[in-house]
Every structure is written in C-alpha cells, then in structure tokens.
Structure 1
C-alpha cells in the first residue's frame, strides 16, 4: 500500500508518528504532479510530497525488493521527493538463524539495488530497518537494525543503528529477544536535511524512549520517523497508547 502526505514539515511530524492507516493511493492521487519543491509557473513553491510505503515482508528478498521497487517507482511517478519504507523492508525471516543468514553488509548487493533505484527514480529513500552485517560481524556473529537514508543520487547520507532493542514478554506468545541476534547501536544520528525537511532517524521500539525524540527535536528535527514491523500484539501496545 502507498499513501501520500502533502503538509508542511511540522505537520508531517504528527502524521508520521500516529500510526493511522493512510488511504490507498487511488484515493489520494489520480494524476501525476510536478516534482516536489519545484518552482511552478507562478513562482510559488510546491509543498513537499512524501510517500509512505506499507509492505508485508517475507524471507524472499527478491520478491520483497520487487514489491518495494514498484511502490517507489509509483511514488516517483507521482512526484514524491521522499519515500519511506518500513522496518524489515528487506526481509522478515522465519527464525533468528535465518535472519543472520540472510543479512548483508551496507555495501552488499541488496542495498546497491536500492541505491540504483533511488538514483534512477531521482527520489530520496528512507530504508527503515535494514538487517546489517556490521564491521564486527566476524567477532559478534550479530547484526544491526539499521535505518539507512539514501539521497536522490543513490548515496548513503545517513545511517542510524537502533539503540533500544525489543526484549519483551508477549502474553500468550512467550519472550521476544531482539538482542539474541542484534547488537544495539551507540550513536544518535543528527537530523538530516532532505527536500521534505529535517528528518530525525529512529526505529520501532525507540518510540518508547522520549529522550531520543527530545534530543532529535532539540537538534532541529522537523520529522521524527519510527519505521516499524510490529506484530498483532506489539502494534496495538505501542502505536495506540504511545502516540496518543
């Protein structure tokens, strides 16, 4: 599913953090529009058009890329300057061992394909949670949950590695231990200037820790991002009470 938002950056903040369902693309946009931030014939500025892409990832990375690429291509065709993809856009494995097996470094094949996609479409991409094999992979045999921001030339302009890992007890399902296969990040990435405004990078469970949001806001962030892959239990436990 693909949704669009055309609001000033400060209004984008609340829309992207509410977790509300967005209407389908056919309801919001029926005609291609000029590139966001492009000067029109009357010399007035277009408000930035931002695309929020919703996908259901599987262990099949090729099929996941195909689905995401179709959404990004459509977003670019309709004039979006920035497209957001969710946490685990690359894949969701069946077990921790498969997660480690399918993970890749930032300079691997999959991210290279997304860089090419951004470059060919001329669009910024927020890749909300990439299963990254870091430089310490050989020592730790663990990965990072990495939010990658690509510019419209396909270059990596920022990376944020999730600092708050989701280690929780789920009623009726047992424990969820992200830390079993994932290392926590240690650095908060400063807000990044994009055509849609200054974007602060976070991921999923980070939303439970307001200090991170406050720090990003104090640093000038106009848009706070929480790309997520919550389940049927963890989703309502976070989006509804935390964003209200």
Structure 2
C-alpha cells in the first residue's frame, strides 16, 4: 500500500473528486494531463517462482505505462517472485545491489520514470549470520537511483483453518525503522508493504486509511494463481482522500491509471484541518501504558 501526502510547500464518500481515473491514454501522452495533474500507473501482476518471466511481464507493463504518460509506476509486493515455500524464497532472494534491481534501475533511467517496487525479497547485510531476509519496499527515481528502502516492520502471520496459512516471521526479519515520505513528481509518497489476506475487508480498510489520513492511497496487488499453493485476489486500486475508488484494475494482469489532484487534496485539508489538531506531545507516552 502507498499513501500520498502533499509536497512540502507545494502530500479512500460523499464529496465528488476532481481526480480523474482512466484505463488508457493515447500513445506518446505527456507525463501530466491537460489539467497538469501528475499521472500514476498501478501494475497488477501474477508473479510466480520464475524470476525471468516475472521480469519480462513487469518490465513490459512499466514500458506500457511510461508510453501512456505515467511518471510514477507502482508494482506490487512480490513483484520479483512468489516462492513455493520459505526455503525456495530464501534461496532466490537477492541483495539490493543484486542483478534484478540493477535491471530495474536501468529501466527507470532509460524511460525517465519513477518506480515504486513493493515487497522485494532482500538479503540484507546480516544474511550470513541470520539466514533470514527482509520484505523491502524500494523506490527508484527517474535517474535510476535508489532513493528509499523501507523494510516491513509488521510481518504477516495468519492461520485461517482450511483456507490460509502464512507465517512470514518464520523466515523474514522485521525492519527496525520508519522511512520518511519521499518527494516525487506526484507529491510526497509514503510506502509500506501491507498484507491483507481476506478480500472482503480489503477495500474498506484502504478507503478508511485514505479518509482518516486525508491522503491518496495506492494499492498494487498480485492477481490470479501464483503457484499451486497460492491464489491472489487482485483488484489493485487508487483511493482519493474522501475514500472514493477512482481507479481499479480488472481481473488478471494489467494497468490502471489515476491523476493525482494535489489542489483537491490541499482543499480537503484546509476545510477539515484534522492534522493541525494532532497531539504530538502525547504520542511518546503511549508506550508507557501497561
């Protein structure tokens, strides 16, 4: 999941949104619309244990999105691969300076686009001692530079009898710090991999996050059968600050597009200035409560 804030100085129902979503633009379109709003693209894929095939699919979608004018493109958690089991996942993981991310850096640089790469299976500097990986969200700028890397702090352990069994903490280290939002051409973006294993509350939670934080929320997702033990729900979407779903992928791999209306977002925050009433002086006391 990705949450949008406004640019410093420039950050998903009742209210109508000025943000416009669309499934496609003419070839060669500019990186902003005729309203000069930044255009983002959300890629929905079916990753498998085949890393080369996954790269082929993801890079093709990135190229298509860039051709349609998107300046910031989001790929989902596990864009690199979805392993059959923890052992295979550990064996296929790479470091941030490994060959796969170098390919994405080159892709971003060649196309002149920003890439938000959800949930990369990262072998950290402690790999040799821990034999565990990190679920790392990576942001690349249009020059191909790595500008942010957030290691997922809250891991996903779920046991739904007869339906879902997942224990990310058995082979993944939790991150130890929060990464500040990144300033992009589409505003400030805060990135975090998020596991929502049950489809029914997923959209409700994403819309609630947008409303309560007065921000855009972008959720890129896996779709379809990743392998014999996993099927993903899909329905990647973009939610505006009033909780309206303004873009959503259809079933199967593909792209959806949304324009990010920062003026609309600023207006909402002016009219309902909830952030100015936050009690930062009290937050440090929360950890003292037994």
TM-score, normalisation: structure 2 = 0.63
Q: CA deviation at 1:28?
A: 2.9
Q: CA deviation at 1:147?
A: 0.4
SS at match of 2:137: strand
Q: CA RMSD in A?
A: 3.3
Q: Does 1:203 align with 2:193?
A: yes
**Gaps (5+ residues) in structure 1?**
1-7, 15-22, 237-242
Tell me the residue number matched to 2:42. Answer: 52
Q: Is the 8 A contact 2:222 2:232 kept in 1?
A: no
Query: Using a 3 Å threshold, how does the CA distance of structure 1 residues 235 and 28 change in structure 2: closer, same or farther?
Result: closer
SS at match of 1:129: strand
Tell me the residue number matched to 1:122. Answer: 112
Which structure: larger Rg? 2
SS at match of 1:148: strand
Please give the per-residue CA displacement for 1:6-64, whole angstroms capped at 9, x wherever unaligned: xx977xx92xxxxxxxx9x8x43244311238xx7xxxx61101010000001111110
Q: CA deviation at 1:225?
A: 4.8
CA–CA separation in structure 1 for the residues paired with 2:233 and 2:40: 26
**Gaps (5+ residues) in structure 2?**
13-20, 197-201, 224-229, 236-242, 245-290
TM-score, normalisation: structure 1 = 0.74
SS at match of 1:107: coil
Q: Does 1:165 align with 2:155?
A: yes
Number of equivalences: 207
CA–CA separation in structure 2 for the residues paired with 1:154 and 1:87: 20
CA–CA separation in structure 2 for the residues paired with 1:66 and 1:235: 19
Higher relative contact order (CA 8 A, sep 6+): 2
Tell me the residue number matched to 2:56. Answer: 66
Tell me the residue number matched to 1:100. Answer: 90
1:28 to 24, 30, 33: 24
Q: Is the 8 A contact 1:203 1:226 kept in 2?
A: no
Structure (1 or 2) with the greater strand fraction: 2
1:145 to 97, 119, 135: 135
SS at match of 1:64: helix
1:91 to 54, 74, 81: 81
CA–CA separation in structure 2 for the residues paired with 1:190 and 1:9: 11
Task: List structure 1 runs of 4+ shifted beyond 6 angstroms.
Answer: 206-210, 233-236
Tell me the residue number matched to 1:194. Answer: 184
Q: Is the 8 A contact 2:44 2:221 kept in 1?
A: no
Tell me the residue number matched to 1:5. Answer: none
Tell me the residue number matched to 2:258. Answer: none
